[in-house]
Structure 1
Amino acid sequence: MAVSKAPAFLSQLRLTLGRMAYNASGFNKYGLMHDDVLYETPDVEEAIRRLPTKLVDERNYRILRALQYSGLKKYLPKNEWTKYEEDVRYLQPYLEEVIRERKEKESWEKMF
């Protein structure tokens, strides 16, 4: 019986710790999402370039709004903060594709 509770406990613990780390990061207080604050490596830049226009516009709006509030040294009203459960990793499919293509290209270049 204790064995079946352990995975559920660990899953709940992981969720709680993830939520705490997410809130401690502070970017959610500006209305940003996880993928808005990724370090822009060449892979990330290419993934952003491949985003549909609507997602780019939404991302740019969130970033500009965050810069404005940061400059004012204010946070958004709490009801506008990005919630852990609502954060969408919108860039990940594009980023995974870019990384896969880059690795494939590198492996082809090694052959020649």
Structure 2
Amino acid sequence: MLGPLGYSFAPAVRRSRTLYKWIKPLADWYANVAGYRKMGLKYDDLLIEENPEVQKALSRLTPREEYDRAYRMKVASLLSVNHKPLPKDKWLPASEDVRYLKPYVEEAVKETEERHIWDTMEVRRK
């Protein structure tokens, strides 16, 4: 995913050992402070569903992934209404917080970009 300026620093951070060593603990700390793991959610559960690419990606999930996502959302909603997080032993560990929706979103973005290129192509006669 691209940042607000249209590019991402993530590849550069991953390539640089020193930068990764400094940024990774900060990113882990931020993910823990955000609190979505305390509710049993994964990072991709927080993506804005009104985005057309995310909607397309959600439609491509397997039935099992779709069920798991709906279950996590319902549990998180119930916990939010009760103003309580999950018990600490049921928090989602960082090792299980994988980006299950990201490949589908990237694929949808590429398709949208390709469609835009084909739709705006100019045909010129020689």
Name the TM-score, length of structure 1 as normaliser.
0.88
Q: Equivalents in 2 of 1:12, 1:43: separation in Å?
A: 32
| Alignment-mate amino acid for residue 32 of structure 2 | N
Q: For 1:111, what is the secondary structure of its paired residue?
A: coil
Q: Which residue of 1 aligns with 2:80?
A: 70
Unaligned runs of 5+ in 1: 1-6
Which of residues 86, 99, 104 is equivalent to 1:89?
Answer: 99
Aligned positions of 1:1-112 closer than 5 A: 7-40=16-49, 41-111=51-121
Unaligned runs of 5+ in 2: 1-15
| Alignment-mate amino acid for residue 61 of structure 1 | Y
Q: Equivalents in 2 of 1:84, 1:12: separation in Å?
A: 17
Q: Equivalents in 2 of 1:19, 1:79: separation in Å?
A: 18
Q: Equivalents in 2 of 1:55, 1:86: separation in Å?
A: 14
Q: Which residue of 2 aligns with 1:3?
A: none
Q: Which residue of 1 aligns with 2:7?
A: none
Decide which structure has greater helix share: 1
| Alignment-mate amino acid for residue 22 of structure 1 | A
Name the TM-score, length of structure 2 as normaliser.
0.79
Q: Which moved more, 1:30-39 or 1:78-87?
A: 78-87
Q: Equivalents in 2 of 1:15, 1:83: separation in Å?
A: 16
What percent of counterpart residues are identical?
Answer: 38
